[in-house]
Amino acid sequence: MRRIVGMCLLALSLAVPALAEPLTLAAGAGYKKPVTELAAAFEAKSGIKTELIFGNMGQLTTQVKGSGAIDLIVGEKSFLESAGVSVAGATTLGRGVLVVAWPKGKPLAAPADIAKPEVTRLAMPDPAKAIYGKAASQYLERAGLAQAVAAKLLAVATVPQVTTYVQSGEVDAGFVNRTDALGAGDSIGGFLEIDPSLYSPIEIVAAPVSGAKNPEAAKAFLAFLGTPEAQGIKLRHGL
């Protein structure tokens, strides 16, 4: 009898994740690769299905506040707070690093080389809507380069769009995060990290959304972020 009861309890414990609602996680487009890998590893370990939404953080924060359909949001802590999204109970994924990347065949010896005449187009995420656009603007101002590059700047919505322009050679350089630059691999010429003292610290967090439909799954995902498996994924992606 004891063996039968034990087998029944085991069957019920395995069935619970499958019966749970999917975890819906939103993240900035610049973190698509690490978040996708983390979600896949979490799903494999927990059995909880994870649905992902990526995009511009300005649009995502609006959706978080208005839809009630998102359980977790991954983004920069101060950006989320300024957008009115609570970060209570958030878990830190890592520190965001601003880099300048270039296409194949157009190397930069130093970040300040973006002011040279041979760099005619310089892409960056929209400073009003993307944290790495804001960081790039801060860098340009603090490094005394803003006026020199003003006529070259091309602002786009997201970090991956900048990376796409760099990959295609449509721009001579672009500001992205280290995670996206690492993900681009040899499809770009290379990248250099920007001195972190020249822009505000970027703390990337996963924050549970108040009043979301699936708080228990969100709590389980945040706990998973502290495991060695998750730590290894984050490190591989430059976090």
Which residue numbers belong to the known binding site for molybdate? 159
CA distance 4 to 228: 35
CA distance 15 to 25: 22
CA distance 74 to 235: 16
Give the rounded distance of the alpha carbon of 199 from its chain centre: 17
* Residue ranges at the known binding site: 159
Give the rounded distance of the alpha carbon of 78 from its chain centre: 14
| Alpha-carbon separation of residue 40 from 44, 96, 126 (angstroms) | 6, 22, 30
Give the three-class secondary structure for 71: coil
Helices (H) and strands (E) in the chain, counts: 10, 10
CA distance 59 to 159: 14
CA distance 198 to 6: 60
Place of tokens 């996206």: 180
Give the three-class secondary structure for 187: helix
108 within 8 A of 173, measured Cβ to Cβ: yes
**Number of residues that this document lists for the chain:** 239
The DSSP code for 172 is: S
